[in-house]
Amino acid sequence: MSSIEKMLRCRITGNESDCESTLRRLSDSGIFHMENANEGNSSVSKTENPYLDPLRQLSGLCVLTGHKFAATDYRENDLGQISAEIASMHERASELSDELKKINDQINSDTSFLAQISHLTGSSENTSVIDISQAFHCANIKTRFGKMPHNSFEKLDYYAENAFYFHEYGSDKDFCYGFVFTPRSKLAETERVLESLYFERIYIPEALNGDIRVAVSDLKTKIADEKKAAADCRKAMEDFRNTNAARVNELFTYLKTLYDISELRENVLFEGEIFTIMGYIPRSAEDSFKRLFEDIKVDIYTESPPDDSADVPVKLKCSKFAEPFSMFVELYGLPSYKDLNPTSFLAVTYTLLFGIMFGDLGQGFLVLLLGIFLGHKKKMTLGRIMERLGVSSMIFGTLYGSVFGFEELLDPLYESLGIHFLPFHAITNINNVLYTAIGIGIVIILISIIINIIMGLMKKDYERALFSNNGIAGLVFYGSLLILLLGGMLGLKVGGTAYILLLIVLPLLVMFFKEPLGDLAAGKGFHIEGKLSDFIAANFFECFEYLLGFATNTLSFVRVGGFVLSHAGMMSVVLALSAMAGTASPIVLIIGNLFVMALEGLLSGIQVLRLEYYEMFSRYYNGGGKPFKPVKVNFSEMIS
Amino acid sequence: MRAEELYSGNMAATVAKMHALYGHRLKTEDYNQLMSCSAVTDVAGYLKRTRAYSKPLEGIDTTLIHRGYLEDLLRRNYFENYFSLARFEKVADDEIYNYLTIKTEIDEILICITHINAGTDDHIKTLPIYMNRYTCFDLNHLAHVRSFEALLELLRKTPYYEMLARYKPVDGGYINYRACELTLRTYYFRRLLAAAADLHDDELADHICTLIDIINIVNAFRMKKHYHAPPETVKAAMIPIYNFLPEKRFNALYEADDPDEFTALLSKTIYGREAIKEGLSFESPESAMRYIRYKRLRRSFSMATTPPLCFFTYNHLKNIELDNIIRIIEGIRYQLPVTEIVKLLITD
């Protein structure tokens, strides 16, 4: 078991004039977990952060210019001056942004109009071109240009007798475009029919005269000019961004630091001229922490937190091997300060079970490489976990003699070494694989119960340590039952009335009465809460659930063996497909291996995590700890 | 195709495709968003952003769309999806996959009769011309029909001719619309039931029977409530196919003195008990019946493994969705409050 970092409760008091520099040092230290010294003091009101407005404007400037902020060094600035500077930069960026928006709106509008009037040029080279001025200025004929759905176009034949003519000029997926000609006297009637056909009129501007192809060409030129203007505007914005990037970074770093520190003042208790800050630091860093404040007049008082304190933040302390696995523990919930840190146990069992389930020398090596890439290049914790899992997979792959699904590849090696019991081919030893999986499960469950007993005793929780299903009663019951079953399977003479009464029935009765017995052990006397009948009914079903739980939790580990077999099975399918693929055999082999690797790797990872959480953590671990969060400036958070 | 052939790999793909498509259906949250729209164009805009309706509305400027055109597009999309599924994996050989074509033919013939009786000539406005390639008569010609004789002439080579010829009015009088409708609808359902029997698909037949029962219950209730029709008039207007409710039970409903008695009798039937179990109000028996049918379709669709049942239930569920959208559009157009629109919808 790993441990939990020992903490010291820390109280810092000093003169108000030193408050800001104290907060800055706390923020820079990276080891101070701040508590609210005002807790319970309702008279404290939140004051407006003076850095909020300029910071907000600066964030707005970054959004407008597309600037990606990076923290940098800074020097002290006057708030009034930098506010004016930011306002000036924001104004310029807004001007450029507005101009760009205006041009883009114009481009969208012109492009949309071009799409519509381009149908006026006709659908083919042979289509006659209408002179717009002539079409719209006939003495007795009214002209409408527009579009109608294809479905309506198909209905036009029905209106052959009506006094209008639709001249199709082009079409797209949904609409037919064209002119409608109708006598002036019949316009109202025609428009009624057109409305029922969902005809949408497209208004042609007065300026669009003469040959429509020329007009379309002019519009295209205009759009091209507008696009050039938009590009110039974007270039101007880019230049502006690049010119001011260093200054914006400096201002942002400065303002965000002051903003976050100012926010911390909320947790500071002010009594007259004196301020008080409360928090926690790791015991191991006490000296270095105190040295940070040598040159300012503050009193730092540290003490060990009381035993019963539930508020102490938790920082997990793990070995280098187990450290990335703390991610899984945090996912479940941190242990409380007085609990044991389960990370090492989780790391060992997770790595072992994954290796057993996903044993393949070649695929394990690829998982290792992927893990190195993700862990070191991308700084992903999961990558570091994959490194460990990859190695485990390679070890078990070597034992199984499996290399990218080739189960006989390592046979000559073992023969040359004279090791005859290896490699262990899972597919020909199905029963052994399944029995071993259950055996591993039994060992892990027993260890989990023992951990729970130790933790219960450490916390002086005797009900948990002695009388519960995960305490000594459960351990004796489960262990004795297993010995009885094993003896029966091996034909050994185990059991007898005394054995059953003392080692099976008695622990079961102890589990049945665990609550009153726990009270008795705690010195509160043996008494049953509520009605006796309710107590019996509730505990009967609880005990039944324990029995069921022992059986199902043990059998749950069969999945470990199941995955060993499924890996061998799936790879044999890949090899069979590869053999059928002829010249494409290597490709099938590569794709098959990648597929199996991705699918099985993911499934094994999830299944092992499930075993960890449900079969192990549920026996000895509660979570509910408070994470250790040192105060620091958060540069990744923008203020909008 | 026979029942034993329905479980092949290709068929499984068809079923899987329909289940995948149904995943894109409108959910309660979508309906809430649609009902909160203040204009039809907003409805079109919202639909365009959903997975199910983005494609049919792809090239459409939803800010300018006409209500009628939107409804038209949605209906056409429904038809196109139907035929695309029917063609998928060549399942369209069975009669059951043509049910929408037969239904459309009958619907359009009945609309044409209404126009002849009313002396109007604008059937063309609502005609689904895009269905012309599937129907057994020319829909374009149907738009030009102005008399029963012309209608019979158009339908001469179709099964509808024999059925309708006997209703030819004497001396240019009105056509007996109700008799025509009953004959055509009965024909439609008998054909569907025969198709289900051919497939040995009992569950599919059950759905068709439920549909008939519910149509009869709803129509009888309307006739009782709005026209106080006597039992014999009601019975004469009903589809004479009895399924889950025996004829005796239906007769009792027709003989009810008022809508309250009708509702009380209905609550003792298999549908009424189901409605009570679902916690539905009998304030509107129509809604309750429609909801029961919806639930049955949902249940069957989720368990369906055979393409005909899956196809039938899926398309009916999509049809309910289409009706819901159109009700929302109409509700917004007529400025109904959301509390009223929601009563018109059939959703989870």
- Nearby residues of B199 by Cβ (< 8 Å), 6 or more positions away: B1, B2, B3, B6, B94, B96, B308
User: Rounded to a whole number, what is the distance in Å from the CA of B140 to chain A's nearest CA?
Assistant: 8
Asked if A315 and A5 count as a contact pair (C-beta separation under 8 A), the reply is yes
Task: Give the helix, strand, coil percentages of chain B, each rounded to 5.
Answer: 70, 0, 30
Phi-psi map region of A30: left, alpha, beta (phi>0 left; psi -120 to 50 alpha): left
Average pLDDT over residues A471-488: 91
DSSP string, B210-262: HHHHHHHHHHHHHHHHHH---HHHHHHTS-----SS-HHHHHHHHT-SSHHHH
Q: Alpha carbon of B229 to those of A140, A279, A368: distances in Å?
A: 58, 84, 82
> Distance from CA of residue A149 to its chain's centroid?
47
Low-confidence ranges of chain B (pLDDT < 70): 1-11, 89-93
Strands A141-149 and A33-35: unpaired
Q: How far apart are CA B253 and CA B285, in angstroms?
A: 13
Q: What would the two tokens of residue B320 be?
A: 């309910």
Distance CA B331, CA B342 (A): 9
Q: Which residue has the tokens 């010995």?
A: A483
Q: Smallest Cβ distance to B69: which of A149, A158, A173?
A: A149
Contact B130 A157 (CB under 8 A): no
Per-residue pLDDT at A1: 57
Four-CA torsion B284, B287, B292, B298, nearest 10 degrees: -160
Q: What's the rounded mean pLDDT across residues A104-128?
A: 72
Paired sense of beta strands A33-35 and A274-282, if any = antiparallel
Rounded to an integer, what distance in angstroms lies between the CA atom of residue B44 and that of residue B41?
Answer: 5
The Cα diameter of chain A in Å comes to 119
Residue A118: pLDDT band with limits 50, 70, 90: confident
CB contact under 8 A, B72 and A196: no
Do A4 and A280 form a contact (C-beta atoms < 8 A)? no
CA dihedral A321, A323, A327, A333 (to 10 degrees): 120
| 3-class DSSP assignment, residue A280 | strand
CA angle at A249 for the pair A246 and A254, rounded to the nearest 5°: 125
Q: HEC profile for A100-113? A: HHHHHHHHHHHHHH
Instruction: Tell me what pLDDT residue A40 has.
Output: 67
N-to-C CA span, chain A:
44
Mean pLDDT across chain A, nearest whole number? 86
Nearest to A226 by CA among A114, A92, A117, A118: A114
Alpha-carbon distance A110 to nearest alpha carbon in chain B (angstroms): 16
Q: How high is the pLDDT of residue B90?
A: 57
Query: Tokens for A391?
Result: 């190695």
- A436 near A353, Cβ under 8 Å? no
pLDDT surpassing 50 at residue A124:
no
Identify which of A155, A173, A175 has the shortest CB distance to residue B129: A155
List the single residue in A149, A172, A200 with the smallest CB-CB distance to B64. Answer: A200
Q: 3-class SS at B76? A: helix
Q: What is the pLDDT of residues A300-310, one digit of tens each?
A: 999 988 866 67
Phi then psi dihedrals of residue A254, to 5 deg: -60, -50
Place of tokens 């999309």: B77
* Residue A119 distance to chain B (closest CA, Å): 15
pLDDT in tens, A382-406: 999 999 999 999 999 999 888 888 8
Q: Closest Cα of chain B to A194: distance in Å?
A: 11
pLDDT of amino acid B177: 92
Nearest Cα to Cα of residue A319 among A289, A290, A351, A291 = A351
Q: Choose between B283 and A447: higher pLDDT.
A: A447
Chain A residues whose C-beta is within 8 A of a chain B C-beta are 149, 151, 154-155, 157-158, 172-175, 196, 198, 200
B47 φ/ψ angles, rounded to the nearest 5 degrees? -60, -35
**Would you place residue A365 in the very low, low, confident or very high pLDDT band (cuts 50, 70, 90)?**
very high
Which pLDDT belongs to residue A639?
Answer: 59
Output the DSSP codes for A81-139: HHHHHHHHHHHHHHHHHHHHHHHHHHHHHHHHHHHHHGGGG-SSTTSPPPBHHHHT--S
Can you tell me the distance from the alpha carbon of A527 to that of A187, in angstroms, rounded to the nearest whole number? Answer: 98
- Residues of B engaging A, defined by a Cβ cutoff of 8 Å: 58-60, 64, 66, 68-69, 72-73, 76, 122, 124-125, 127, 129-130, 140, 143-144
**Residue B108 burial by CB count (10 A; 0-12/13-18/19+): exposed, middle or buried?**
buried
Q: State which of A44-53, A361-370, B5-14, B94-103 shows the largest mean pLDDT.
A: A361-370
| Bridge partner list, A9 | A280, A303
Give the pLDDT score at A126: 46
Distance separating alpha carbons of residues A368 and A350, to the nearest angstrom:
15
C-alpha span between A74 and A247 (Å, rounded): 9
Question: Residue B130 in contact with residue B83, Cβ under 8 Å?
Answer: no
* Among A207, A204, A19, CA closest to A119: A204
Distance from CA of A186 to the nearest CA of B (A): 18
* Residue in B69, B71, B120 to test binding to A, most A beta-carbons within 10 Å: B69
Contact flag A172-B59 (C-beta cutoff 8 Å): yes
Angstrom distance (rounded) from CA A256 to CA A248:
12
Predicted confidence at residue B2, as pLDDT, reads 44
**A171 contacts A150 by C-beta, under 8 angstroms:** yes
Measured CA distances, A171 to A8, A118, A168, A178 (Å): 78, 10, 8, 9
- CA–CA separation, A242 and B179 (whole Å): 82
Where does residue A378 rank: exposed (0-12), middle (13-18), buried (19+ CB within 10 A)? exposed
CA gap A217, A534 in Å, rounded: 90
Distance, in Å, from the CA atom of B63 to the CA atom of B81, rounded to the nearest integer, reads: 25
Beta-bridge mates of residue A12: A277, A300
Contact status, residue A98 vs residue A233, Cβ threshold 8 Å: no
Name the phi and psi angles at A124, rounded to 5: -145, 175
Enumerate residues 6+ apart whose C-beta is below 8 A from B47.
B34, B53, B57, B62, B74, B325
Look at residue A524 and tell me whether its pLDDT is greater than 90: no
Rounded to an integer, what distance in angstroms lies between the CA atom of residue A295 and that of residue A81? Answer: 30
CA–CA dist A477, A475 (Å, integer): 5
Confidence of residue A317 (pLDDT cuts 50, 70, 90): confident
Per CB-CB distance under 8 Å, the chain A contacts of B125 are: 196
Q: Contact at 8 Å (CB) between A310 and A459?
A: no
Collapsed DSSP state (helix, strand, coil) of residue A322: coil
Q: Which of A414, A406, A513 is nearest to A462 (CA)?
A: A513
| Residue appearing with tokens 């042609």 | A204
CB contact under 8 Å between A149 and B72, yes or no, is yes
Complex-level ipTM:
0.77
Confidence of residue A443 (pLDDT cuts 50, 70, 90): very high
Residue A473 phi/psi, 5-degree rounding, is -60, -45
Q: What pTM was computed for the model?
A: 0.58
What residues have CB less than 8 Å from A302, skipping those under 6 apart?
Answer: A8, A9, A10, A11, A281, A286
- Is the alpha carbon torsion for A543, A544, A545, A551 positive or negative? positive
Q: What is the pLDDT of residues A551-568, one digit of tens each?
A: 998 998 898 888 888 888
Q: How far apart are CA A54 and CA A89, in angstroms?
A: 12
- As a whole number of angstroms, the distance between CA A4 and CA A317 comes to 5
Question: What does the pLDDT read at residue A497?
Answer: 86
